[in-house]
Amino acid sequence: SYVGNRVVGLGYDGAGDLVDDGRQQYGYDAGGRQAWAQGSGYRLEQRYDGDGLRVKKNDNGDVVYYIRSSVLGGQVVAEIRNWGYGWSWSRGYVYWPGGELLAIQAGGVKWVHRDPVVKSQRLTDEAGSVVAVVELDPWGGETDRSVNQRQQPYLYTTYERDGDGVDQALMRSYHGWWTRFNEPDPWEGSYDLTDPQSFNRYAYVRNDPVNYVDPDGLFALNREYFEAMEALWELWLFGMQMNQRLLPPLVDGAPFIPAEIGSLQNLIDVSRLGDPPRPHCGVNPVTGQPGFNREPIGQPGHLRDPRGGEGQWQARRASRNGRVRRHLGLDIAGEENVSPIYANRSGRVIYSGMRTDPAGRAYGNLIIIDHGDGVQTRYAHNARNLVREGEDVTQGQQIGVVGATGNARGLPSHVHFEVWVNGERRDPERYLNSFCP
């Protein structure tokens, strides 16, 4: 239910900004932009420039600086990160003249192919092969049809998805769980006395996401006009942000908005939404998707078949001298020489090769990635390693192929996944299904 277009049971401040959704709390700066979000071991901090555009974020320890283009209306053209070895360029973006995303540069060029309202995307490499699939529901929720979608951080419309699942539009933030914006529409020119839905200042495209898109968080554009209007809109928005008369006829009045949206009922049956999505850290090393489930056991991306010893964290194992030892990782099933191994999170490869640890555990082909802030992940028993020491990788990037090298010979093929935090091993299953440390 709603009171004044605000969801009953959620917390709002005096300006109408969401401050507590029952899962996270939010804080805002003097300009009304979201400054931080936190909840259950997760914290996001953000900083903005004088035009209200995000220039820095600390996403639970992953610090990113954004380089934006004034020519493209504030679009991000590069991201700068520090993997613990100094600040460096980590990802770049190329756009069509109208502002539509064309390509992503991170570990190679990825070409972006999107539908007009951006619910479906394909990323292809230089050879034209599809390397990532993004399939969302009309409100931006992720589906099981997506593959390697973490290679494209701009999943829904033109919004960047942060680690808490909230999408950051150019002018405000969109909450996919509640299918509405966290802050009321800041542009008073979007009121329309002939359309009651325009008075709901939180609704996304006045509750018709199938036919309309809101590229910047201010108002809806008809999909039939979106591509033609995009260049005009970006120039107008840039002029509004910079308070410059780049195009006097446009700055003197509001931009032309095609095709008014019909009145729709703004009702959401909260009881039908089910439980909120589970927290997660990065992606499953075999599926490339968030989270880990043990079952169905033996299937790729789940707990491996227990033949030869169980594969969960702290499983009891018998050593050669008869003593009981504990399994200090998580064995995730995969098809030998077929299933890809994905980087759980972005970072730098600090080891790639054959290794046996001091306790005599034969890792076989091993990859170690340093994610910064004392967090490392290990991927062992690989058939092949596809990255080299010193190479920067992005979350969801393929780094190897599942195998059975080292002491995994004779066992069902799998990747032995370890998580180290400040020099100590942690439970990988809990790590994958929790907010990042």
pLDDT in tens, 258-314: 333 333 333 334 344 344 445 678 899 999 998 899 889 999 999 998 887 888 988
Give 171-227 pLDDT, tens digit per residue: 899 998 888 999 998 777 677 777 787 788 899 988 888 878 887 887 777 655 555
pLDDT, residue 371, reads: 92
- Which residues face 169 on adjacent strands? none
Q: What is the DSSP letter of 255?
A: P
Token pair listed for 361: 């555990």
- Which residues face 236 on adjacent strands? none
What are φ and ψ of residue 42, in 5° steps? -115, 145
Token pair listed for 182: 């966290």
Whether 98 shows a pLDDT value over 90: the answer reads no
What is the spatial distance between Cα 278 and Cα 291, in angstroms, rounded to a whole number? 8
Average pLDDT over residues 16-31: 92
pLDDT, residue 189, reads: 66
Binning pLDDT at 50, 70 and 90, where does residue 365 land? very high
Query: Maximum Cα–Cα distance for the chain, whole Å?
Result: 84
- Lowest average pLDDT, out of 161-175, 353-367, 420-434, goes to 353-367
pLDDT, residue 166, reads: 92
pLDDT, residue 132, reads: 87
How much of the chain exceeds pLDDT 90, in percent? 36
Q: What is the DSSP string of 340-375?
A: EEE-SSSEEEEEEEEEE-TT--EEEEEEEEEEETTE
Number of H helices, E strands in the chain: 3, 33
- Estimate to the nearest angstrom the gap between the alpha carbon of 32 and the chain centroid: 24
Binning pLDDT at 50, 70 and 90, where does residue 318 land? low
Contacts of 142 (CB under 8 A, 6+ apart): 136, 149, 155
Whether 46 shows a pLDDT value over 80: the answer reads yes
- Lowest average pLDDT, out of 7-11, 276-280, 391-395, 402-406, goes to 276-280
pLDDT, residue 320, reads: 56
Whether 335 shows a pLDDT value over 80: the answer reads yes
Whether 140 shows a pLDDT value over 90: the answer reads no
In the chain, which segments carry CATH 2.70.70.10?
316-432
Angle at 395 (CA atoms; ends 119, 350), nearest 5 degrees: 170
Of the candidates 293, 275, 24, 298, the residue with the CA atom closest to the CA atom of residue 144: 293
Q: What is the DSSP letter of 26?
A: E
pLDDT, residue 223, reads: 58
Of the candidates 429, 282, 422, 432, the residue with the CA atom closest to the CA atom of residue 346: 282
Domain 316-432, CATH: 2.70.70.10
Q: What is the DSSP letter of 49?
A: -
Angle at 279 (CA atoms; ends 11, 13), nearest 5 degrees: 15
Whether 239 shows a pLDDT value over 50: the answer reads no
What are φ and ψ of residue 167, in 5° steps? -95, 135
- Estimate to the nearest angstrom the gap between the alpha carbon of 30 and the chain centroid: 27
What is the residue whose two structure tokens read 């309202």?
117
What is the spatial distance between Cα 377 and Cα 364, in angstroms, rounded to a whole number? 16
Element (H, E) at 82: strand 75-82
- Lowest average pLDDT, out of 147-156, 262-271, 300-309, 407-416, goes to 262-271
